[in-house]
Structure 1
Amino acid sequence: MARSVVWLLQALLALFFAVSVLVQVWVIPSLARDVAVHYPFLAHLEVVGVVGPVLMVLCAQIVLVCLWALSSMAAAGRVFRRSAFRFVDVVIAALAAFAVLSLAALVLCAANDALAPGNVLVLGGGMLGSFAAALLVVIMRGLLVTATRLEQDLAEVI
């Protein structure tokens, strides 16, 4: 694996992580306060409007950290080791958690008459997209299992 590709990927992962921290600390609380001010009938959801999105961003941050670790393993030629499965399993769990949180937010919006078309699009798309990504990673995990076995068999032959 070319070091420049790994370096570029890790630089982008670091940038995404930094932006996500800003979103967690500044953007989400600000938006929740604005919603509570402009829509008083939703003011009781201000805490939920902060905690839910912060947890969703945390799921994305967990995925970013695991991708960093996996890219480091790939650069070192160690991605076909059992230790890689731990990071892949965490990515699957984080993506599934994101899907569940998106579904919970969608249900909460529907229960509080806050189901604007934009909410449906963002939350539904987030839920379906993260679920599809989790399934894709499950498939890729299967490929990693096969490749790991092949590498171990090849090592035994040599």
Structure 2
Amino acid sequence: MRRVVIVTTKALIVILFAAIVFCQVVFVPVNATSFALAAPEFAALEVPGIIMVDALLLCGQVVLICVWALLSRVAREDIFDATALLWVDVIITSILAAGVLVIAGLVLLSLASAGSPFLALMGVIAVICAAGLALVVVVMRGLLKQATQLRQDLSEVV
């Protein structure tokens, strides 16, 4: 059962990673260009918008890579090792970076007098979700750290 779950999860990671790359390479630039043509007064936001959205998507890709690495450790039954905590730290950092990018995007839109109150509300909700997700992963990191310590203690006893 565990092997099936790991393989299925890795397959979904590959699909999601490919979809994110498609968005970075095609979807975001095409939409930014069409928006710049439709609203020339905001054309100056095209390049910064592409960079910020691509950076945000890159944060998601980093999380996917880290989850892949952690899944590989689970498959090798090597998850209860102190080095696994480094992967979790990268996940936390990436989630926080995504939250900072959303805040920076909101500030950029505000300075340009672009966007709507709805967009600002969605940005605030995204920041709250990022903070909440980061806190959940911090708790999970603590559990992994405790389990790792217990496993080390048990191996010393045996």
Q: TM-score higher than 0.5 here?
A: yes
Distance 1:132 1:105, change over 3 A: same
Q: Does 1:38 align with 2:38?
A: yes
Amino acid at match of 1:151: R
Whole-Å Cα distance in 1 between the matches of residues 65 and 117 of structure 2?
Answer: 32
Give 3-state SS (helix, strand or coil) of 1:80's partner: coil
Matches within 5 A, 1:85-124: 85-124=85-124
Partner of 2:15: 15
Q: Note the C-alpha offset of 1:118.
A: 4.1
Distance 1:71 1:154, change over 3 A: same
Q: Which moved more, 1:59-68 or 1:114-123?
A: 114-123
- Please list the CA deviations of residues 111-156 of structure 1 after superposition, one character each: whole Å capped at 9, or x if unmatched: 2122314422442232221221111111111111100000000000
Distance 1:121 1:14, change over 3 A: farther
Partner of 1:58: 58
Whole-Å Cα distance in 2 between the matches of residues 24 and 126 of structure 1?
Answer: 19
Give 3-state SS (helix, strand or coil) of 2:151's partner: helix
Give 3-state SS (helix, strand or coil) of 1:22's partner: helix
Q: With structure 1 as the length reference, what TM-score do the two structures score?
A: 0.95
Distance 1:11 1:121, change over 3 A: farther
Amino acid at match of 2:62: I
User: What is the root-mean-square deviation in Å for CA atoms of aligned residues?
Assistant: 1.2
Moved over 6 A (4+): none
Whole-Å Cα distance in 1 between the matches of residues 16 and 125 of structure 2?
Answer: 20
The percentage of counterpart residues that share the same residue type is 40
Give 3-state SS (helix, strand or coil) of 2:114's partner: coil
Whole-Å Cα distance in 2 between the matches of residues 117 and 28 of structure 1?
Answer: 22
Q: With structure 2 as the length reference, what TM-score do the two structures score?
A: 0.95
- Number of residues paired by the alignment? 158
Q: Which moved more, 1:126-135 or 1:3-12?
A: 126-135
Amino acid at match of 2:89: D
